[in-house]
Chains A and B, each alone.
Chain A
Amino acid sequence: MAQRNLPMREALRRALLEEMRRDERVFVMGEEVGYWQGTHRVTAGFIDEFGERRVRDTPISEMAIAGVAVGAAMNGLRPVAEMMTINFAFLALDAIVNHAAKIRYMFNGMFTVPLVIRAASGWGNQATATHSHTPEPIFAHFPGLYVACPATPYDAYGMLKTAIRDDNPVLFTESIALYPKPGPVPDEEYTLPVGKADIKREGGDVTLITYARGVEWCLGAAKQLAKEGIECEVVDMRWLRPLDMETALQSFRKTNRAVVVEESLPMYSFGSEIAARLQEEAFDYMDAPVKRVTAMDVPLPYAREIELMALPDVQKVINAVREVL
């Protein structure tokens, strides 16, 4: 099957472009999505093809970007709203949590909210404390919302198309650090199922459970450890909600050891959830305590040296694997 190498931002752009061509109800709105060509260039060229009706530059109004998109979704459109970065989604937290996620339930199914909120997520390049969040687990806390976090261009393309076609509200995060990284994407159209994890590397000694940027660190660690004969299985959860625990559990029952790796903060986190579920659902298979690799429990500083000190990397994953073996 023909395929080509695309950076993740280009895979996302292609997915969104195809969905807008396919379905008149799909439109984009957000800060600088139009004439600026998108802050991360995911919507580059859209304004020329679709015009201002379907490519809506908004004011700097996160509450309304999310809230208006919810209203539009309730009334028959399929908005793809962009938060320039997920840090600004905190301003829209009420619209996302109390409205997007709950309207269907509160009105007992009377309304449907087929909405995607795309948000660039993650740290890097000394963006400092307020602009370095990876709060996907916060959003995944709330029933009513799906949370999608792709790790590769292949997944990004297929998952974004799925998110747009799904009738539930989806928070779709895109790691800023992954935007320029290339990976193979088939020329032929495809979608990926909601809430399905993916084994990114098979191995029998230890299970590394992760998502988004963490996949890169886990694969890097697995590669190095393989030289010593340690085989890691890398489980990319891909969706924090719905959470495909079954795939993680299957791997864990095989390896009996797990390290959970995430870019986000340690307390009340992805790692906490996975570790709790492993001990609840597979205690008898557990040969070592579940280890977590996360960012350090501090706000991120400016200076490069200490910023990197606070963040997960390949070496920290390797260290954690050694602890569980």
Chain B
Amino acid sequence: MLLDWYYQMVLIRQFEETCYQLYQEKRITGVYLHLYSGQEAVGVGALAALEPRDHVITAYRDHGIALARGVDANTCMAEMMGRKTGTSGGKGGSMHLASREHNFWGGYAIVGGHIPLATGIALSDNYRGEDNVVLCFVGDGATNNGYFHEGVNMAAIWDLPVVFLIESNGYGMGTETHRASGQPELHKRAIAYGIKDGGRIDGQNVIEVHQALTDAVAYARKNGPVLIEAITYRYRGHGVSDRQYNSRLRDELTEWLENKDPIGILERYLTKKYKNIEPELKKLIDQAQRVVAASVEYAESSPVPTYEDLISNVYV
């Protein structure tokens, strides 16, 4: 299990850093590309707490969530490159990965827009008497818009099994949380909605994330919504086009990279606990590199969408 999580985090990091590189080389050309590097433990730990029948939805920083949910790296990379073989046929792009068969309802590009969708997805299952949970990732920035308030409140009044997991990476674009939120301890907003306050957790420790989310999911399945806040950090800018990021935050970034990197934390834990595990880890890193390299090849050799694709699926 721990090795699987390690692999997933390494895969996500490799995928994201490759995307970054491809963007610089103009092989990924879309203007929006929001990378998950640094936040891997939140996605991997949280999704490991779900069953396949449960649901997942997130915002536009969605590559890591898709991969951790088991969506094929090839189709994800093809979507980055706007290919017909992408998860959304090249029509959604980086911010709109999804997979119905994985109950991954997608990435959504309007801040907060997916939050009421999460409540609605939960409503449907609840309506049919099913007790599946919806895990809704929420950026810290989204907690200040109306969608958050309305979507969480509606889940609260109907006791719907939604886990709202705030990924507090410190910034809504470039604005620090304490400059944007009257109550910067975002999990405390649970009190205002009369729902379970799942507290604040270390989002860099995949084991802790998994434990906390296992509890939150179990609670939600039985009782109703939970709001929980994972403290994390993104290594890249808000999007790849964010130019101010590196110079402004160099010291802060170094601190997180050296001491609080989610992959590093798990690696230290594993090497301490299991003797001679290093070759095993190396193998997983190699595997992740191979998978991502293959995904680039797959994407670049895939056809681009056609006029038929342009005009299809506007309506049923």
**Which positions in A face B, CB cutoff 8 Å?**
27, 53, 56, 58-59, 61-64, 66-77, 79, 94-95, 98-99, 103-112, 143-144, 146, 166-168
Q: Are B120 and A73 in contact (CB under 8 A)?
A: yes
Q: Closest CB-CB distance, B52 to chain A, in whole Å? A: 15
Chain A residues closer than 8 Å to B147, beta-carbon distance: 63-64, 67
Q: Closest CB-CB distance, A315 to chain B, in whole Å? A: 40
Q: Are B116 and A71 in contact (CB under 8 A)?
A: yes
Interface string of B37-69 (1 = CB under 8 A from A): 000000000000000000100000000000000
Q: Are B123 and A71 in contact (CB under 8 A)?
A: yes
Q: How far is the CA of A75 from the CA of B309 in the complex (A)?
A: 24
Q: Closest CB-CB distance, A59 to chain B, in whole Å? A: 6
Q: How far is the CA of A112 from the CA of B315 in the complex (A)?
A: 9
Chain A residues closer than 8 Å to B96, beta-carbon distance: 106-107
Interface string of B115-134 (1 = CB under 8 A from A): 11111111111011000000
Q: Are A64 and B153 in contact (CB under 8 A)?
A: yes
8 closest cross-chain pairs (CB), A and B: A71-B120, A67-B116, A64-B150, A108-B89, A75-B124, A71-B117, A109-B313, A61-B150
Q: Is B110 at the interface (CB under 8 A from chain A)?
A: yes
Q: How far is the CA of A59 from the CA of B119 in the complex (A)?
A: 14
Question: Please, which residue of chain A has its CB at the minimum distance from the CB of B84?
Answer: A108
Most chain A beta-carbon contacts within 10 A, residue among B55, B120, B153: B120
Q: How far is the CA of A106 from the CA of B313 in the complex (A)?
A: 9
Given A59-B150, A103-B106, 11 further pairs, Cβ under 8 A: A27-B127, A58-B154, A67-B116, A67-B147, A70-B116, A70-B120, A71-B116, A75-B123, A108-B92, A111-B98, A144-B314
Given A63-B150, A107-B106, A68-B119 contact (CB < 8 Å): yes
Q: Are B121 and A75 in contact (CB under 8 A)?
A: yes
Q: Closest CB-CB distance, B34 to chain A, in whole Å? A: 16
Question: Please, which residue of chain B has its CB at the minimum distance from the CB of A110?
Answer: B100
| Cross-interface CB contact of B316 among A79, A110, A112, cutoff 8 Å | A112
Q: Are A72 and B120 in contact (CB under 8 A)?
A: yes
Q: How far is the CA of A112 from the CA of B100 in the complex (A)?
A: 11
| Cross-interface CB contact of B110 among A75, A77, A94, cutoff 8 Å | A94
Interface positions, chain B 146-165, Cβ under 8 Å from A, are 146-147, 149-151, 153-154, 157-158
Q: How far is the CA of A106 from the CA of B154 in the complex (A)?
A: 26
Question: Please, which residue of chain A has its CB at the minimum distance from the CB of B91?
Answer: A108
Chain A residues closer than 8 Å to B120, beta-carbon distance: 67-75, 79
| Cross-interface CB contact of A64 among B105, B116, B121, cutoff 8 Å | B116
Q: Is B113 at the interface (CB under 8 A from chain A)?
A: yes
Q: Closest CB-CB distance, B236 to chain A, in whole Å? A: 24
Q: How far is the CA of A173 from the CA of B262 in the complex (A)?
A: 52
Chain B residues closer than 8 Å to A106, beta-carbon distance: 88, 91-92, 96
Q: Closest CB-CB distance, A107 to chain B, in whole Å? A: 5
Q: How far is the CA of A103 from the CA of B107 in the complex (A)?
A: 11
Chain B residues closer than 8 Å to A143, beta-carbon distance: 314
Given A67-B150, A99-B117, A110-B123 contact (CB < 8 Å): no
Q: Are B153 and A74 in contact (CB under 8 A)?
A: no
Q: How far is the CA of A67 from the CA of B149 in the complex (A)?
A: 12
Chain B residues closer than 8 Å to A94, beta-carbon distance: 110, 113
Q: Closest CB-CB distance, B90 to chain A, in whole Å? A: 8
Chain B residues closer than 8 Å to A27, beta-carbon distance: 127
Q: Closest CB-CB distance, B98 to chain A, in whole Å? A: 5
Chain A residues closer than 8 Å to B92, beta-carbon distance: 106-108
14 A–B contacts from the bound complex (CB under 8 Å): A27-B127, A59-B150, A64-B116, A64-B151, A67-B117, A67-B147, A77-B127, A79-B120, A94-B113, A107-B106, A110-B99, A110-B100, A111-B100, A168-B315
Q: Closest CB-CB distance, B221 to chain A, in whole Å? A: 17
Q: Closest CB-CB distance, B149 to chain A, in whole Å? A: 8
**Which positions in B face A, CB cutoff 8 Å?**
55, 87-92, 96, 98-100, 105-106, 108, 110, 113, 115-125, 127-128, 146-147, 149-151, 153-154, 157-158, 309, 312-316
Q: Are A68 and B123 in contact (CB under 8 A)?
A: yes
Q: Are A68 and B151 in contact (CB under 8 A)?
A: yes
Q: How far is the CA of A289 from the CA of B92 in the complex (A)?
A: 43
Given A59-B153, A63-B146, A104-B100 contact (CB < 8 Å): no
Q: How far is the CA of A69 from the CA of B118 in the complex (A)?
A: 10
Given A75-B121, A144-B315, A64-B106 contact (CB < 8 Å): no
Given A53-B127, A76-B124, A143-B314, A59-B154 contact (CB < 8 Å): yes
Chain B residues closer than 8 Å to A68, beta-carbon distance: 116-117, 119-120, 123, 151, 154
Chain A residues closer than 8 Å to B119, beta-carbon distance: 64, 67-68, 71
Chain A residues closer than 8 Å to B110, beta-carbon distance: 94, 98-99
Chain A residues closer than 8 Å to B154, beta-carbon distance: 58-59, 61, 64, 68
Given A63-B150, A77-B127, A108-B116 contact (CB < 8 Å): no
Question: Please, which residue of chain A has its CB at the minimum distance from the CB of B116?
Answer: A67
Q: How far is the CA of A59 from the CA of B312 in the complex (A)?
A: 37
Question: Please, which residue of chain A has its CB at the minimum distance from the CB of B312?
Answer: A109
Given A63-B146, A106-B91, A107-B96, A75-B125 contact (CB < 8 Å): yes
Q: How far is the CA of A70 from the CA of B153 in the complex (A)?
A: 17
Q: How far is the CA of A69 from the CA of B120 in the complex (A)?
A: 6
Chain A residues closer than 8 Å to B99, beta-carbon distance: 110
Most chain B beta-carbon contacts within 10 A, residue among A107, A111, A112: A107
